[in-house]
Amino acid sequence: MSLAWPDIVKAHEPVSQEEVRLTVKRQPAIPNLLLALVLSACANSPTSSSPEDVPDTEVPPGLTNLLRFDGVDDRVTVPYDASFPTEVFTIAAEIKLTQPAGRAAVIARGEDDNSFNLSWQLYVTPSGNLEVMLEDSRESNFCYPLNNCAPRGSCTFGDLSVADDAWHHVAASRTGDGTLTLYIDGESRATCTGTGVPSSNNFQAMSIGSTFGTIGPPPGGVEPPTWFFPGLIDDPAVWNVALTPAQIADAASLGVDEQSAGLVGYWNFDEGAGQDVMDLSPAGNDGFRGANAAPDSADPTWEAEEGT
Ligand SMILES: [Ca+2]
Ligand SMILES: [Ca+2]
Ligand SMILES: [Ca+2]
Ligand SMILES: [Ca+2]
């Protein structure tokens, strides 16, 4: 088809592509007339396939997309790579969910099958609050900002609620001197100093929408995926540096800067079809939907951003 979504919008309103992106992401629905225009343009194109040929999880080309996670087993898997950051990192994503029944992982370097060490994980608690868990090489788990697992360091924090069925940009960074900061919508909401040191004895896949492992060695020694995220995720990203508060604010309002120093993973989930989830960072950490690179029950569902 010849018409892309931003082109259609531009024809109606003199706004920038960035404004289009933010408007589309944050508004509950697009005008039905415009969506019908896009869909009919696809249906009428002589080169497009018939509706019967399109699998359920595909969305029309030309739209920007995201992934819906079912909270049962859905996740994105990124095979282990030495570029994954450990002690110094920034992790971020845009999320939308209602209060989860259990813990809901956004992005994680979860438990290793052999060391039973996780490095870090960002998740939403059953109370609907953003939280980070770190684990050191001695299998001590540290939970921030409540500091109510193995206590270490100290925190100050404010409102961390994110499970209100609205889009939120969430992020966490950790510096080399152990300062962990949690951000919501570009604002610092928690700062912890003297935090635990994430274990580097971890060769597990990175996961988006879940983590790997329960706390401690499971029977059989293989860490199962768990803490499945029920809702929408877009634009997850990972850096091997601690971004500044100003950089986090920019990422929240403008999106991920693909040229930003230290970027080692950025998945915009715009594919809209197929298994591959491409990393737009120089590190090339491409992932796939679900438990494996073939269609499986753990595949999250492609969804047009306009549908949110
Ligand atoms: Ca562990
Ligand atoms: Ca997207
Ligand atoms: Ca799959
Ligand atoms: Ca599923």
Tens-level pLDDT at each residue, the chain (308 residues): 333 333 333 333 334 444 444 444 544 333 443 444 444 443 433 333 334 444 556 777 777 999 999 999 999 999 999 999 999 999 999 999 999 999 999 999 999 999 999 999 999 999 999 999 999 999 999 999 999 999 999 999 999 999 999 999 999 999 999 999 999 999 999 999 999 999 999 999 999 999 999 766 666 678 999 999 999 999 999 999 999 999 999 999 999 999 999 999 999 999 999 999 999 999 999 999 999 999 999 999 999 987 44
Q: What is the structure's pLDDT at 44?
A: 39
CA distance linking residue 166 with residue 208, whole number of Å: 19
Proximal ligand: closest to the CA of 301: 4
Ligand closest to the CA atom of residue 73 = 4
Give the pLDDT score at 80: 98
Q: How far is it, in rounded angstroms, from Cα 262 to Cα 237?
A: 11
Distance of CA 80 to the CA centre of its chain: 17
305 CA → ligand 2 middle, Å: 7
What pLDDT, on the 0 to 100 scale, is given for residue 214? 74
Nearest 5°: the CA angle 220, 204, 140 is 75
- Dist. CA 193 → ligand 1 center (Å): 22
CA of 232 to the centre of ligand 1 (A): 27
pLDDT of residue 57: 64
* Distance in Å, CA 298 to ligand 2 centroid: 19
Q: How far, in Å, is the centroid of ligand 2 from the Cα of 304? A: 8
Q: Identify the structural domains of the chain with CATH numbers, from first to last.
A: 5-54 (no CATH), 68-307 (2.60.120.200)
> What are the distances in angstroms from CA 279 to CA 96, 100, 199?
21, 28, 24
pLDDT score, position 56? 56
User: Tokens 């969910």 label which residue?
Assistant: 97
Q: What is the pLDDT of residue 168?
A: 98
Whole-number pLDDT of residue 31: 40
pLDDT of residue 1: 35
pTM assigned to the model: 0.82
Chain centre to alpha carbon of residue 170: 9
Phi and psi of 186, rounded to 5°? 85, 0
Please tell me the predicted confidence (pLDDT) of residue 58.
76
